[in-house]
Amino acid sequence: MSLSDREIRTAGVEHAVPDPDPDPGTGAATAIDGILQIAVGGPLPLRIRCWDGSEAGDVHANATIAFTDPRALRRLLWAPSELGLARAFVSGDLDFEGDIFTILDLPDVIERVAHHDKIGLSRRERLQAARTAMRLGAVGPPPSPPPEEVRRRRGRLHTRQRDAASVSHHYDVGNGFYRLVLGPSMVYSCAYWSQPPDTGHTLEDAQRDKLDLICRKLGLRPGMRLLDVGCGWGSLAIHAATQYGVSVVGVTVSREQHALAVRRVSDAGLEGRVEIRLQDYRDVTDGPYDAIASVGMAEHVGRARLVEYSRVLMGLLRPGGRLLNHAISSVRALPPSTHDQPGFIDRYIFPDGEVLPLSRTLDAFEQVGLEVRDVEALREHYGHTLRAWVHNLRAAWPEAVASVGEGRARTWLLYLAACALAFEHGNITIHQVLAVKQFGHGCSELPLTRTQWLRNALGDVATD
């Protein structure tokens, strides 16, 4: 938690007049470097540069933190957590130069971000930091958050209307921006790296392999009906129709996703086999389907509605039908304060998103009668995917800023890089869960071995 108003007033920094000559022999950078070293417990492998032109830290570092405005310190003083850091970076008061992963990979930083913890200063040290901020002229009331931050949300959590608004905040930022980040595949979920990235295997190769893995796990065959819940820009639907000969209904509540997915389906000549709907999954009534894929959508469902979500999908499957749920999971339960005191991800990226332990998903499936047959963790795969997206964004930075503005582009850079490290450090993970709706007598229609039901040679399926 941040310092209380009373403590800040006691420290004499809320409305203090700054020292007109804040230690010119050392400058702001040396003072800030000292505070940061206390916070992380030792010297930083970074260079610090400040608004007064001063520099400090490792002269050989391959990354620099630039405090471009004293307001950055004020943001961190009032919110000494991931949220204060995010506000300073998104607003441009703080900048990262060089390797962003080096900066974010400081000791315990990602661990603290993952669990919304404060920076590593005792209360006494934070009071001293406040006095240092006063000396540097970085004092005053809390700065207003950047306009990209979501503050107030209307309606009850996870109603159709509020979910649609949350999805729109995340996905309706412009299809052109997503194309810059995701690349030609337009797939916004963890890729499947059958070969490491340093072998020449590209992001597009890995996303194609992921789409194919999903189709094989679902056992798709010509003539089947597939429901794609949270279909994004239609990539899985198009792949399943062209490579496996199935008919597909894809649903999304994002208007921009829907518009582009419909156009992509038309361009592929698949209007008769792929239907993209602007529709909430709870409003789908034309089952049964032979298979259902839910990829990167369950995180929007929420703990309170997970059983309802499972029941709806169960009701849309035919007996013997398979469900594949591809979703991010927490490695351990997040603190209860997460929802009472939203952090960076909730305020800037996924409003109302909830990352739950795998056990919650399995329990919800079993409560409604789905039989879980397979679970595969893809944590390392997501680290590779996120680094590829960071590379794409940085390579197209001028175009990204022109598309969505610098504040939102900064938001996404921080989000993607921090998430890459969170997956690599094992703070969060991702699972594909395959479940089946049994026949009344217990038959699942699954082959006896995993190897058999994964084997689905493209030569055995229709591709025209």
DSSP-assigned letters across all residues of 360-400: HHHHHHHHTTPEEEEEEE-HHHHHHHHHHHHHHHHHTHHHH
CATH class of 5-135: alpha beta
pLDDT in tens, 429-453: 999 999 999 998 888 888 888 888 7
Report the SS3 class of residue 464: coil
CA atoms 181, 184, 188, 192: torsion sign:
negative
**Rounded Cα–Cα distance for residues 103 and 227 (Å):** 42
Rounded CA-CA distance 304/346 in Å is 17
Q: Checking phi first, is residue 104 left (phi over 0); if not, alpha (psi -120 to 50) or beta?
A: alpha
Name residues whose C-beta falls within 8 Å of residue 378's C-beta, 6 or more positions apart in sequence. Answer: 190, 192, 429, 430, 431, 432
Mapped to the 3 state alphabet, what secondary structure does 437-461 carry?
A: CCCCCCCCCCCCCHHHHHCCCHHHC
Of 8 and 244, the one with more pLDDT: 244
Residue 112, φ and ψ in degrees, nearest 5: -70, -40
pLDDT at 292 over 90: yes
Per-residue pLDDT of 27-67, as tens digits, reads 899 998 888 887 777 788 889 999 999 999 999 999 999 99
Architecture of domain 160-460: 3-Layer(aba) Sandwich (3.40)
Domain boundaries, the chain: 5-135, 160-460
- Average pLDDT of the chain is 86
Q: State yes or no: pLDDT of 108 exceeds 60.
A: no
Say whether pLDDT at 328 is over 80. Answer: yes
- Cβ(182)–Cβ(206) under 8 Å? no
The confidence band for 166, taking pLDDT boundaries of 50, 70 and 90, is: confident
pTM of the prediction?
Answer: 0.87
Residue partners of 311: CB distance under 8 A and separation at least 6:
368
Give the C-alpha separation, 300 to 351, whole Å. Answer: 9
Reference 230, options 171, 178, 190; nearest CA is 171
